[in-house]
Amino acid sequence: MTFTTLTFAYFFIAVFLLYYIVPKKWQWIVTLLASLFFYFETGIPGFIMMLLSVLVSWGSALFIEKARNKASLIFAVSVLIFIVVLVLMRTPFGSLVMPLGLSFYTLQCIGYVTEVYRGSTDAEKNPLRVLLYVSFFPHILQGPFEDYNELKSRLNEGHDFDYSNVCNGAGRFALGLLKKLVLADRIGYVVDPVFDNASGYYGFTIVFVMALYTIQLYADFSGYMDMAVGMSKMLGIEIRENFNVPYASKSMAEFWRRWHMSLGLWFKVYVFYPMLRTKLCSGVSFYFKKKKNKYLMKTLPTAIALTVNWTLIGLWHGFDANYLCYDWFCGAVIIFSEFMRPVYASVNDKAPKVFKSKFMDALRVVRTFIIVMFSFMMFRPTQLSTSFLMMKEIFIKTDISGCANFIYNNIYDLFLIMIPFVILLVVDIFKYREKDILTMIHSLNPVFRWTIYIAVAVLIYVCKGDRSAAGFAYYIF
């Protein structure tokens, strides 16, 4: 039961109506039952594993709070349990029964236990509250990752029906549908055959396919997040944003502050900063401090922590070589930028008018997009050999005529994505300028407003692909 199916639409309508019918103090029970039913539909083994994960995190947090003298041991054992489960599920046998969303809700469980261990949040006495936090159906399968302190009050308190919130949430959900059903799925028809058999495609064709895939992955993943945020908003519950116009980034570091933001924040809080405080990084920093080398005193510990951070992100994505290479590549670019920071600053200071101009910013955006597009060449293929083949075939020949034929053969799907792509571009431009286009549409004259609503609905119905039940790209994680 994915967000893009009629079955889910009926499910959510029933949940929405019941949510606002019952007294506010019981709304969280409605949300919990809906979340359990939603996840139960993904499979009984996965449902049982999710319940066990919640039980471990809830019980561990209580023991940590009550037995402070043994808190470190209990914390270490609980985290080790979650890591072992993740590792086992990445094995060939485990992958056959791997529950949907395991990688996402497991990190939330680890984050909750960690916060209790640190003393920044109190252990929840009611296991059903923890269960709701982990299983909340808009975010359990693909995030965003939420902090328990931030989300618990929003989930547990009652909410009055708010017409503006509902309209804004519905509009956000519709935008997600447009991104997924039209952009992502239609582009999939074009690019999937190339990734399945990359031999015979060269130069501009490969570049064109990678540009399309870069748009597809963003439309797919951010489309899911739009739907998750929209549904939550309709229930009066605010959840984190996970994307902030990532393709407007001027560097890879900025890109990862705008792309999958909650994942980056989770690893920053629970991996990167703790790694900087380890004896290794502290020792390196102290050594170069004695040498009076401020550059290496700051840069080298950061590089070590970033290396560990990106390695673990790669393993989180999966044990396949392509995922590790993808994340190592992203990390390497960011680490290289850290080492080159003084050089960049010196160059920018010597010619501030040139290097701080809008034109140079535009070039930086294009450069970053190309680097991201290249990195996805390691992320999307199922085999690293396919990635290397595609990289090689880019430079064998330009093959302009082959690219033209490729576009002609896929002209129907490419034509259907043109309007949705322009809509996505406009929405992101407004968002980059910190303007909410959905709020602006909602404030229009009712005739214009409903004309836009109906036009978007017709566009989705006419142009959508027929793979709505296939799920989202990040379901594999």
Structure confidence by residue, pLDDT tens digits, 215-267: 999 999 999 999 999 999 999 999 999 999 999 999 999 999 999 999 999 99
Give start and end residues of each alpha helix (H) in 340-469.
341-350, 352-355, 358-379, 384-396, 400-409, 411-416, 418-432, 437-442, 446-463
pLDDT in tens, 113-134: 999 999 999 999 999 999 999 9
In this prediction, residues 162-174 reach a mean pLDDT of 92
| Residue 375 structure tokens | 């990195």
For position 96, what pLDDT does the model report? 66
More confident residue, 200 or 425: 425
pLDDT at 468 over 60: no
In this prediction, residues 437-460 reach a mean pLDDT of 89
Residue 301 contacts residue 281 (beta carbons within 8 Å): yes
| Residue 160 structure tokens | 């009055």
For position 88, what pLDDT does the model report? 85
For position 425, what pLDDT does the model report? 94
Q: What is the reported pTM?
A: 0.93
Cα 214 from Cα 374, distance rounded (Å): 9
Residue 460 contacts residue 178 (beta carbons within 8 Å): yes
For position 8, what pLDDT does the model report? 94
Residue 120 contacts residue 65 (beta carbons within 8 Å): no
Q: How confident is the model at residue 397 (pLDDT cuts 50, 70, 90)?
A: confident
- Over the chain, what is the mean pLDDT? 91
For position 253, what pLDDT does the model report? 94
What whole-number percentage of the chain has pLDDT above 70? 97
For position 469, what pLDDT does the model report? 47
pLDDT in tens, 77-91: 999 999 999 888 877
Return the closest-CA partner of residue 184 out of 148, 223, 152, 139: 223
Return the closest-CA partner of residue 310 out of 364, 368, 352, 252: 252
For position 67, what pLDDT does the model report? 84
Q: How confident is the model at residue 477 (pLDDT cuts 50, 70, 90)?
A: low
Cα 475 from Cα 477, distance rounded (Å): 5
Cα 402 from Cα 407, distance rounded (Å): 9
For position 470, what pLDDT does the model report? 58
Cα 135 from Cα 33, distance rounded (Å): 10
Cα 51 from Cα 29, distance rounded (Å): 16
For position 320, what pLDDT does the model report? 84
For position 255, what pLDDT does the model report? 96
Classified as helix, coil or strand, 347 is helix
Q: How confident is the model at residue 14 (pLDDT cuts 50, 70, 90)?
A: very high
Q: Could you give the C-alpha distances from 99 to 49, 90, 420, 475, in angstroms and in order?
A: 8, 11, 32, 10
pLDDT in tens, 316-341: 988 888 999 999 999 999 999 999 98
Amino acid (1-letter code) at residue 153: S
Residue 219 contacts residue 184 (beta carbons within 8 Å): yes
Q: How confident is the model at residue 351 (pLDDT cuts 50, 70, 90)?
A: confident
